[in-house]
A and B are shown apart, each in its own frame.
Chain A
Amino acid sequence: GENVEQHPSTLSVQEGDSAVIKCTYSDSASNYFPWYKQELGKGPQLIIDIRSNVGEKKDQRIAVTLNKTAKHFSLHITETQPEDSAVYFCAAIEPPSNTGKLIFGQGTTLQVKP
Chain B
Amino acid sequence: DAGVTQSPTHLIKTRGQQVTLRCSPKSGHDTVSWYQQALGQGPQFIFQYYEEEERQRGNFPDRFSGHQFPNYSSELNVNALLLGDSALYLCASKEQGRETQYFGPGTRLLVL
Contact = CB atoms under 8 A, between A and B. Distances in A.
Given A102-B45, A104-B44, A36 B99 contact: no
A99 B56 contact: yes
Contact of A101 (B4, B40, B58, B90): B58
Interface stretch (A11-19, A37-45, A53-61): A37-45
Contacts of B104: 43
Interface string A72-114: 0000000000000000010101000111111111110000000
Contact of B103 (A43, A97, A105): A43
A24 to B, nearest CB: 14
B66 interface: no
Interface in B32-55: 33, 35, 40-45, 48, 55
A89 B105 contact: no
A107 B43 CA distance: 10
A4 to B, nearest CB: 8
Contacts of A45: 103
B43 A44 contact: yes
B99 A46 contact: no
Nearest to A9: B40
Nearest to B108: A41
Interface in B68-94: 90, 92, 94
A73 to B, nearest CB: 15
Given A100-B33, A101-B48, A46 B42 contact: no
21 contacts: A32-B99, A34-B101, A36-B103, A42-B105, A43-B6, A45-B103, A46-B100, A46-B103, A49-B99, A93-B99, A98-B97, A99-B48, A99-B55, A100-B56, A101-B58, A102-B43, A102-B45, A102-B101, A103-B45, A104-B43, A107-B41
Of all A-B residue pairs in the complex, the 8 with the closest CB atoms, nearest first, are A104-B42, A43-B103, A32-B99, A43-B105, A44-B103, A99-B56, A43-B106, A101-B45
Given A44-B103, A46-B102, A102-B45, 15 more contacts: A32-B99, A34-B99, A42-B105, A43-B90, A43-B103, A89-B42, A89-B43, A97-B99, A99-B48, A100-B94, A100-B101, A101-B56, A102-B92, A106-B42, A107-B40
